[in-house]
């Protein structure tokens, strides 16, 4: 994220479940990292290009999530071929929709 121009401030906590709940990340769509930017929550290994698009378009969503730790996502690269993965948008009513698909 830094290399994409995002400033980062790290907060270490032992209760990530409470953080995810506070910012509307549903169980089953959660991941290892939770970030806040521009009024949105970013959950997991979401590519910087998706965050940039989110901030440019400003859709009516809570944020984005890349559930789990998908191989091939930023920080999860491998020398082996990785399966495609989807980044989802989270809505305040609890619904989700595909936001981006990555090969």
Edge-first strand order for the sheet with 34-37 is: 34-37, 40-44, 63-66, 85-90, 96-102
pTM given for the model: 0.89
Q: Domain for residue 2, yes or no?
A: no
Q: Does residue 5 lie in a domain region?
A: no
Contacts 24+ apart (CB under 8 A), 53-61: 53/100, 54/89, 54/99, 59/89, 60/91, 60/92, 61/89, 61/90, 61/91, 61/92
pLDDT of residue 43: 97
Question: What average pLDDT score do residues 3-18 get?
Answer: 88
Within a domain: residue 3?
no
In a domain, 1, yes or no: no
Looking at the domain assignment, is residue 96 inside a domain?
yes
Phi, psi of 41 (to 5 degrees): -100, 140
Range of the domain at 85: 12-102
**How many domains does the structure of the chain reveal?**
1
pLDDT of 84-98, one tens digit each? 999 999 999 999 999
pLDDT of residue 57: 98
């Amino acid at each position: 994220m830094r290399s994409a121009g995002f400033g980062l401030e790290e907060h270490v906590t032992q209760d990530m479940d409470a953080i995810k709940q506070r910012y509307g990340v549903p169980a089953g769509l959660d991941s290892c990292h939770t970030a806040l930017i521009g009024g949105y929550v970013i959950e997991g290994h979401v590519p910087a290009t998706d965050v940039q698009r989110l901030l440019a378009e400003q859709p009516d969503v809570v944020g984005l999530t890349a559930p789990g730790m998908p191989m091939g996502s930023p920080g999860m690269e491998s020398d082996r071929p990785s399966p495609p993965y989807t980044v989802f948008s989270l809505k305040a009513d609890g619904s989700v929709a595909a936001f981006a698909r990555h090969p």
